């Protein structure tokens, strides 16, 4: 018995109007949703790795040994540096680094350096 028949209502559009006509259409809808979610997760994963890759392209090898990507939040790139001497050195290069990073990614607007472990 249909739910509408149990309470005495009849649908003008026929039976099962609230559900898809076939199981394959439900399967197709679920498949589309899962595909969209997986694509969004892939985009987020690559976006998270992008700043670290940009640093490798912009900094010299000797500088890369002293820095580690920390975060990218609201256009601010956070970088952990292993000593105050390197923080000073990188702060001197900050305008040049911002120009180089800005050419490769419009998402980076500022850089902040923090002292910490880089391994």
Looking at the predicted structure, is the pLDDT value of residue 66 above 60? yes
Residue 13 backbone phi and psi in degrees, to 5: -100, 0
> Measured between alpha carbons, how far is 90 from 82 in angstroms, rounded to an integer?
12
In a domain, 6, yes or no: no
In a domain, 78, yes or no: yes
What is the C-alpha R_g of the chain?
27
Residue (of 69, 115, 116, 118) closest to 88 by Cα position: 115
What are the tens digits of pLDDT across the range 71-116?
988 989 999 999 999 999 999 999 999 999 888 888 889 999 999 9
pTM: 0.58
Confidence of residue 23 (pLDDT cuts 50, 70, 90): low
CA 3 vs. chain centroid, Å, equals: 44
In a domain, 71, yes or no: yes
pLDDT of residue 9: 53
CATH number at residue 97: 3.30.300.180
* Domains of the chain: total: 1
In a domain, 11, yes or no: no
What are the tens digits of pLDDT across the range 46-63?
555 588 888 888 999 999
In a domain, 88, yes or no: yes
Q: What is the DSSP string of 79-94?
A: EEESSHHHHHHHHHHH
Looking at the predicted structure, is the pLDDT value of residue 26 above 80? no
> Measured between alpha carbons, how far is 30 from 24 in angstroms, rounded to an integer?
10
pLDDT of residue 79: 94
In a domain, 84, yes or no: yes
pLDDT of residue 107: 83
pLDDT of residue 94: 95
Structural domain including 57 reads: 19-115
In a domain, 13, yes or no: no
In a domain, 8, yes or no: no
Listed in order, strand segments (DSSP E) in the chain are 67-73, 76-81, 110-115
């Amino acid at each position: 018995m249909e739910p509408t028949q149990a309470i005495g209502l009849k649908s003008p559009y026929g039976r099962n109007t609230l559900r898809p006509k076939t199981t394959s259409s439900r399967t197709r809808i679920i498949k589309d949703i899962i595909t969209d979610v997986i694509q969004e997760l892939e985009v987020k994963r690559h976006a998270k790795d992008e700043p670290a890759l940009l640093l490798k392209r912009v900094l010299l090898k000797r500088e890369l040994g002293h820095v580690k990507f920390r975060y990218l939040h609201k256009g601010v790139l956070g970088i952990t540096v292993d000593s105050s001497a390197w923080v000073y050195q990188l702060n001197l290069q900050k305008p040049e680094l911002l120009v180089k990073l800005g050419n490769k990614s419009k998402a980076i607007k500022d850089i902040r350096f923090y002292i910490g472990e880089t391994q």
